[in-house]
Amino acid sequence: MNFIKKIALTFFIAISLGAISTTAFAEEAVNSSAANIDETIGHVEQALIEVNKSDFSASVLQIKAARLSAESITGNEKVLKQANASVVQGQIQSKSGNDKKAAVALTKALELYKSL
């Protein structure tokens, strides 16, 4: 009888630990997404500053960093898709040397990321 009690107790402890670890992973994913949003916003802001200074090589580096950090953001897929498209458009305009269109695209992306 003691053997059955020990097995039952071990089983319930294992289930409890499994439930706790799943909750911890879910909380970690939410926190990391928020951190990635902040990181992406910082890169886009820095790229916008560089575009306004007409330093296109530095802005392209910041835009690439923003695109990398944006890959792991979770949330509203439609808004994310629009924001990422604006960042790509800003990158294209920055590479071609069009600072006004790049600034407009990056400002739009910044607003969309902040709405997340």
Where do the domains of the chain lie, and which CATH numbers do they carry?
35-115 (1.20.120.660)
pLDDT at 89: 95
Q: How far apart are CA 93 and CA 95, in angstroms?
A: 5
- Give all strands (DSSP E) within the chain, no chain letters: none
Amino acid (one-letter) located at 29: A
Average pLDDT for 81-109: 93
Q: How confident is the model at residue 36 (pLDDT cuts 50, 70, 90)?
A: confident
Give the gyration radius of the chain's Cα atoms: 22
pLDDT at 22: 56
